[in-house]
């Protein structure tokens, strides 16, 4: 609402209150002459309120009414009959917080004395880029074909989470379970260019308790 509309509302409320009080007095005194005048004043105030709130209830009707009035009355009633423009409040763009860690890994297949497969070890390397510590709680191993489609996916929760200090680095060696190892070993029978590509994604929490996910190839 414009300033002039606000002033009109305040003045109308004061006049309405005074008129109602006078009507109560006129009813008690059985003064029919003044009672009729008071009712006429209330009717006029109701008409004025309709003009005041018409742009908010029926904005198109108010614009049509304003256009049909002569020049003089249209200018006089323009502050009431012309709807106030709606000012859109810009919403701040959501800021994306970069993950606090960068991660990479290497895989090493260990064999026993007889040449058989013993275990598949993964060495995780993390670099913390934030000013607070970060904790790694789980990881996912993906095997992707030449088109980038996953052929196998394994999600594992770490028995003991890794804490990477602020602005620091960390290395951690993890033995991958036989299910992940067997898929890796099976791929060794194919030519190197035809083997599935491996991705590892880590999940965790930063110092503020926010979840994050980083990936390494």
What is the pLDDT, as a whole number, of residue 21?
62
The token pair that represents 170 in the structure block: 């960390």
Rounded CA separation 133/166 (Å): 5
Mean pLDDT to the nearest integer, 44-51:
64
Rounded CA separation 117/141 (Å): 19
Chain centroid, CA 171 distance in Å: 35
Rounded CA separation 187/178 (Å): 14
> What is the rounded average pLDDT for all residues in the chain?
77
Count other Cβ atoms within 10 Å, centred on residue 66. 19
Residue 99: which pLDDT band, with cuts at 50, 70 and 90?
confident
Count other Cβ atoms within 10 Å, centred on residue 126. 24
Contact 104, 200 (CB under 8 A): no
Count other Cβ atoms within 10 Å, centred on residue 186. 13
Position 156 pLDDT exceeds 90: yes
Contact 88, 187 (CB under 8 A): no
Mean pLDDT to the nearest integer, 123-151:
93
- Strand ranges (E), 133-180: 134-144, 150-164, 169-176
Percentage of residues of the chain with pLDDT beyond 90? 38
Q: Say which residues have a Cβ less than 8 Å from residue 130's Cβ, sequence separation at least 6.
A: 100, 166, 167, 206, 207
Residue 127: which pLDDT band, with cuts at 50, 70 and 90?
very high
Question: If residue 88 lies in a helix (H) or strand (E), which one and from where to where?
Answer: none
pTM as predicted: 0.54
Question: Tokens 């993890």 sit at which residue?
Answer: 174
pLDDT tens sequence across 179-209? 999 998 898 888 888 889 999 999 999 999 9
Q: What is the DSSP letter of 193?
A: G
Contact 130, 206 (CB under 8 A): yes
Residue 155: which pLDDT band, with cuts at 50, 70 and 90?
very high
């Amino acid at each position: 609402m414009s300033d002039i509309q606000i002033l009109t509302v305040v003045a109308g409320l004061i006049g309405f209150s005074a008129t109602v009080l006078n009507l109560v007095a006129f009813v008690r005194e059985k003064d029919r002459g003044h009672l009729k005048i008071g009712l006429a004043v209330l009717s006029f105030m109701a008409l004025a309120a309709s003009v005041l709130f018409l742009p908010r209830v029926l904005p198109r009707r108010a614009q049509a009414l304003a256009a049909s009035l002569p020049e003089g009355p249209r200018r006089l009633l323009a502050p009431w009959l012309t709807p106030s423009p709606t000012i859109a409040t810009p919403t701040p763009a959501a800021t994306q917080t970069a993950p606090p860690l960068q991660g990479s890994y290497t895989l090493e297949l260990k064999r026993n004395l007889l040449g058989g497969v013993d275990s598949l070890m993964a060495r995780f390397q993390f670099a913390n880029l934030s000013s607070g510590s970060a904790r790694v709680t789980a990881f996912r191993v993906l095997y992707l074909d030449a088109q980038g489609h996953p052929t196998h996916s394994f999600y594992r929760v770490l028995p003991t989470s890794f804490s990477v200090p602020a602005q620091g680095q960390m290395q951690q060696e993890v033995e991958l379970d036989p299910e992940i190892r067997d898929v890796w070993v099976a791929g060794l029978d194919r030519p190197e260019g035809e083997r599935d590509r491996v991705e590892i994604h880590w999940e965790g929490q930063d110092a503020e308790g926010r979840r994050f996910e980083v990936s390494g190839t």
